[in-house]
A and B are shown apart, each in its own frame.
Chain A
Amino acid sequence: MSIIVLQLFIAGRTPRTEHAIATLRQLIELRLTGYPCELVIVDVLTDPQQAEERHILATPTLIKVAPLPQRRIIGDLADADGLLAALSLPSLPLA
């Protein structure tokens, strides 16, 4: 499988966004073990240009940039299984 590129758009560092980032990192570490993975975090408050270029309408937005097809999800990012399903990513069972 090619590299998995995830892009997370957040608005400032709040407990909620920190929690979303932690969930994603855990998901990459535990559920996508063995896949090359890249997580890019974009704060729309400090980098509004990127948000505009990608037509981001809300935060938090998570985009699976690669592999194609691109998927974009919005809302609660705390559910690992839901995320994997929504992003059409393979899910490895927890050891």
Chain B
Amino acid sequence: MAYGQTQILRGIDVALPGGQTLALLGPSGCGKTTLLRLVAGLLAPTSGEIRIDGQMVAGPGLFLPPEKRGLGMVFQDYALWPHLTVAGNVAFPLEMAGVGRAERETRVAAALDRVGLAAMADRSPSALSGGQQQRVAIARAIVGEPRIVLFDEPLSNLDRELRETMVAELGALIRGLGLTAIYVTHDQSEALTLADQVAVMEAGQIAQLSAPEDLVEHPASPKVAEFLRLGAVLPLVRDGQGWSLGGRPFGALGGPDFARAEVLITPRALLLAEAGSATLTGEVMAVQYRDTGYAVTVRLEAPGAAPAQTVQISSDTRMRVGERVGLNIISERLRWFPARPEPTFAKE
């Protein structure tokens, strides 16, 4: 798939078993929405194949338009038709499928009931709140019992609290209906909560495709770790005594037998310590109160790691911003990667 001279997507090879949810996770511009629109048939691939239920919908010399693919979709901007009522919006897919009036009415009512909007059927979409509109969009996407439901950043226009509620609701809905779904988002918690499989995308490629727990435990690359904000990634060089960071010795941490490597330090691999004696030092950048204590953002003093690497650790005591802290490393909780070619920081 390419636009003009620039390739947008390449080397994508994903298979999604029925009844599962695939999340496409990545920063904006990574191609995740393009991939979704390819599946939807709103874009046509230059090469490659797309199959749904074993039926080829796009491939060499073949292109099935969106209306022939039997899909449901939830859009980022909801895309509710303002001239139709809530019920009119939800009924549309059934109407297109040629479902008779009586059955249509029952199914629309059922779908609206499922999203808790049965009372709003005759309203105009513009009279609803953002969360309600999104529920209508979801009802519209599921009413036709489509083969796949596509979600295009469906919650990104909602505020945080509502988003968290909706993630839970969506999860229950998807599992309850046994939907096959593709869910595009740039929010890792949504992806990790909802998906059976998460594809982390970067620059038009899939950087990693794993189950959520694998993704957290075993990120495939420092880029994935960085994107998932799992912790700090530091470039280390092996010398006589072990590893060092920008000339500062780190001691023997184990790790692979490379001359240079990158290491992911998650909060779970760190212990707070005295600044003088610790392996790592850092400066407190921000302190937030959370239910379980204080979440402290620490910028590591790590020469050679650019941009500045931060980790978030929890502390029972409130720390001052600007305070220097020491951190000890639990070496068995580190995760090692071969060093990326210079420069060590990402372009984005």
Partners in one complex: no
**What is A's interface to B at a CB cutoff of 8 Å?**
none
